[in-house]
Amino acid sequence: MTPRPTRTEPSAADPAPLPAPEITEAECRRCGTYIAGLDGRYACGVCGWVNDHSEGHRRLPRADEDPDRPPAGRRPPRLLPAPPPPQNGR
C-alpha cells in the first residue's frame, strides 16, 4: 500500500501574522505608577487610567486578523437561567 502524499499548503485566507507586540513602559499619567504596556498602549492597574489606542506605536490588528474571532454570523445571545423561585418555606 502506498501512503497518499499529504500536501500542506498555506491557505490563501491566512494573512501574514502581525509582528508580536513590544512591551513598553511608562508612568501612569494620573497616579504616576510605573506601568508596562504593549506598543505604547497602557492601562494602569492602580487607578484605572488608560491611554487612547491611537497613542500606540503600531496599528491594531483588525477584527479579521484576530485568530480567535468567532465565525461570521451572529449567534443569538445566551439566555441566563431564570432565578430560582423564592422559597417561603415553613
Instruction: Kindly list the residues in this chain that would bind Zn ion in the complex (CB under 5 A).
Output: 28, 30-31, 33, 44, 46-47, 49
Closest distance to Zn ion from the beta carbon of 50 (Å): 9
Q: Residue 35's CB: how many other CB atoms inside 10 A?
A: 19
Residue number, 18 or 46, with CB nearest to Zn ion: 46
Residue number, 18 or 31, with CB nearest to Zn ion: 31
Closest distance to Zn ion from the beta carbon of 58 (Å): 23
The beta-strand segments (E) located in 1-90 are 23-27, 34-38
Rg (C-alpha) for the chain, rounded Å, is 24
